[in-house]
Homo-oligomer: A and B are copies of this chain.
Amino acid sequence: MGPAMIAEKKKAILESTLKLIKENGFHGTPMSQVAKKAGVAAGTIYHYFDSKDTLIMELFSYTQYMIQAAMQESLREDMDFRENFFLRWISRCQFYIQNPDVLFFIEQFVNSPYFPRCSKEQNEFSQNEIIQFIRLGHQNGILRDLDPKLMSIMIHSSIMTAAKVHLDGKFSLAEKEFKQLAQMIWDSIRKL
C-alpha cells in the first residue's frame, strides 16, 4: 500500500511525526505532541500504530515510498547514461531539499537503533532503482568495477550530504553547483 491509499488520519499522524522529529529529534517528540499536531486524540494513534516504535518504523517505510514515487516521476528514457545519471543525482538531491523533513528523519533513523531492525528489503527498497541503474552502467562498461550496492551507498551519501549543506544555509547551491557536484560524483564512478 502506497501513501496514496493511507487513511487520512494515519497520514496526518505520519506527517506530523515527520515534522516534529525533524525539529526536535526522536527524543523531543512525545506522542502527545504528535497527536496535537495531527489533530487527533492521543489514543487514536494507537488505532493505527501498535506503539511509538511501530510508528517510527512505519514512518521510515513511508518515506521510502515517497522517495520512490518521486523518483519514478522524474525518470526519462530518451537520454544517454551520463545525462541520466546527472538527472537522477540532481532530482534526488532536489527531492530532499524540497522535503527536508524526510531528509533529516532518514538521517536520524539510519543512525539510530531502529535501523538495524528493518528488514533487508525495507532498507534497500529505495536504493534498488539506483542499483539497477548501476548494473546497467557496468554491463555497458561505463562504470568502474565496484560492487553496485557499495557504489549506490556512496552515491546516496553524496546526495544527502549535498542536500544538507544546501539546507544548512551555509552554501546556497544553485544549478551550477549542483552540476559541479554531480560531475564530481560522476567522475568518481565512471571509468576514466
Cα distance A189–B27 in the bound complex, in angstroms = 38
A81 / chain B contacts, CB cutoff of 8 Å: none
Q: Does A76 contact B (CB under 8 A)?
A: no
CB-defined interface of A89-125 with B at 8 Å, one 1/0 digit per residue?
Answer: 0000000000000001001100111100000000000
Closest B-chain residue to A161, C-beta based?
A: B157
Chain B residues near A54 (CB-CB < 8 A): none
Per-residue CB contact flags for chain A residues 64-85 toward chain B (1 = under 8 Å, else 0) read 0000000000000000000000
Task: Say if the beta carbon of A129 comes within 8 Å of chain B.
Answer: no
A104 to B115, CA, bound (A): 12
Distance to closest chain B CB from A121 (angstroms): 14
Q: Is B150 in contact with A154, judged by CB distance below 8 angstroms?
A: no
Complex CA gap A154/B150 in Å reads 17
Q: A27-B27, A28-B113, A171-B150 are in contact. Are A184 and B188 (CB under 8 A)?
A: yes
Copies of this chain: 4
Cross-chain contact of A158 among B107, B112, B158, B177 (Cβ < 8 A): B158
Instruction: Give the contacts of A1-33 with B (CB-CB under 8 A).
Output: 23-28
Q: Which of A131-153 contact B (CB under 8 A)?
A: 144, 146-147, 149-150, 153
Partner of A189, one of B165, B170, B184: B184
CB of B111 within 8 A of CB of A111, answer yes
**Does residue A192 face the partner (Cβ distance < 8 Å to B)?**
yes
**Which of B23, B113, B171 is within 8 Å of A24, CB to CB?**
B113
Say whether A149 contacts B162, CB under 8 Å. no
